[in-house]
């Protein structure tokens, strides 16, 4: 995993938009109800990752975790010897075009070992992100999906549902930087009536306000994990008028405050 790790560190030092993220911590992190809005591949580069409640699944360094787009999951990131480090690749639904399985969606995640071939594929994906145009990123992601299937992990295809109204609304809030969106504007963009919108969201077990809150806090968690921006600036970026309001909502969702999470990024 050394070559992959080196490629990841080189890419993130470029300080540019990339089709992946890197999460790290020097101290243990315990996070509740982490939203997974889109299918997500996590490669544990160092340390351990524990997921779930009750009976927990543990991923060690050199393991991968594929999460479905329909779960909110409890996560524990555990440094070993050095800091915890993980590569995260989020997939869009069009990355799975032509690959959907007819099998029922009865799994929310799968765990496997990173083989030398998968490591090489991931390394090429990371390195190509520094020169390939964005329109090619999806093709590279599709290569990763197809390789995982070839390795015997076809169950990941059954974990990808149809693009939901909630997903589209989540993207709208992020694209609008969490400015207030009227129901009329949302319905116009989604080409549906208000009653249809509410009926579809109810069938997905959510609401407009829940999606907005999840999108804001999900972005806050991501920025705390990947940037050195101040908590006040992150709160503003997520559409909160005060840092204290952001901190209260963040703790209510994830079980710890932004300041407590930020401290896990620092060596004890």
- pLDDT tens column, 63-97: 999 998 876 899 999 998 889 999 999 998 889 88
Tell me the per-residue pLDDT of 155-208, one tens digit each, with 9 for 90 and over.
999 887 666 888 889 989 888 887 778 899 999 999 999 999 999 999 888 999
Please compute the mean of the pLDDT values over residues 210-214 and round it to a whole number. Answer: 92
Six token digits for residue 109: 């995640």
Per DSSP, the chain holds a count of helices (H) and strands (E) of 11, 9
| Range list of H helices, the chain | 2-12, 116-128, 137-150, 155-158, 165-175, 183-190, 194-203, 208-226, 231-237, 243-254, 258-264
CATH classification of the domain holding 70: 2.60.120.280
Same domain, 112 and 169: no
Q: Is the CB of residue 65 less than 8 Å from the CB of residue 85?
A: no
Range of the domain at 256: 165-264
Name, in order, each residue with C-beta under 8 angstroms of 73's C-beta and a sequence gap of 6 or more. 33, 34, 36, 51, 52, 67, 108, 109
Are 132 and 219 found together in one domain? Answer: no
Give the least confident one: 113-122, 143-152, 167-176. 167-176
Tell whether 146 and 43 lie within a shared domain. Answer: yes
First to last CA, the chain: 26
Q: Which is it for the CA torsion 17, 21, 27, 30, positive or negative?
A: positive
Mean pLDDT across the stretch 109-128? 96
Residue 98 pLDDT? 85
Domain end call among 126, 141, 158? 158
DSSP helix/strand/coil, 171? helix
pLDDT reported for residue 228: 92
pTM of the model: 0.93
- One domain for residues 92 and 68: yes
Structural domains in the chain (count): 2
């Amino acid at each position: 995993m050394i070559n992959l790790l080196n490629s990841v560190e080189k890419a993130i030092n470029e300080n540019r938009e990339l089709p992946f993220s890197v999460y790290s911590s020097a101290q243990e992190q315990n996070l509740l109800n982490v939203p997974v809005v889109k299918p997500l591949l996590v490669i544990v580069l160092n340390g351990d990752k524990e997921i779930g409640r009750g009976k927990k699944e543990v991923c060690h360094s050199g393991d991968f975790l594929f999460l479905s787009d329909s779960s909110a999951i409890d996560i524990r990131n555990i440094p070993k010897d050095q800091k915890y480090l993980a590569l995260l690749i989020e997939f869009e639904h069009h990355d799975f075009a032509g690959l959907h399985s007819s099998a029922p969606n009865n799994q929310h995640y799968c765990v496997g070992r990173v083989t030398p071939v998968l490591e090489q594929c991931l390394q090429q994906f990371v390195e190509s992100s520094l020169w390939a145009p964005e329109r090619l990123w999806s093709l590279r992601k599709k290569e990763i999906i197809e390789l995982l299937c070839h390795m015997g992990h076809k169950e990941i295809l059954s974990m990808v549902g149809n693009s939901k109204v909630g997903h589209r609304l989540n993207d709208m809030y992020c694209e609008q930087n969490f400015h207030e969106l009227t129901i009329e504007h949302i319905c116009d963009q989604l080409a549906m009536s208000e009653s249809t919108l509410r009926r579809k969201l109810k069938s997905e077990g959510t609401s407009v306000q829940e999606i907005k809150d999840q999108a804001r806090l999900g972005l806050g968690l991501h920025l705390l994990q990947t940037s050195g921006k101040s908590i006040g600036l992150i709160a503003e970026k997520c559409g909160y008028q005060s840092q204290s309001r952001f901190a209260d909502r963040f703790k209510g969702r994830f079980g710890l405050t932004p300041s407590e999470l930020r401290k896990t990024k620092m060596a004890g």
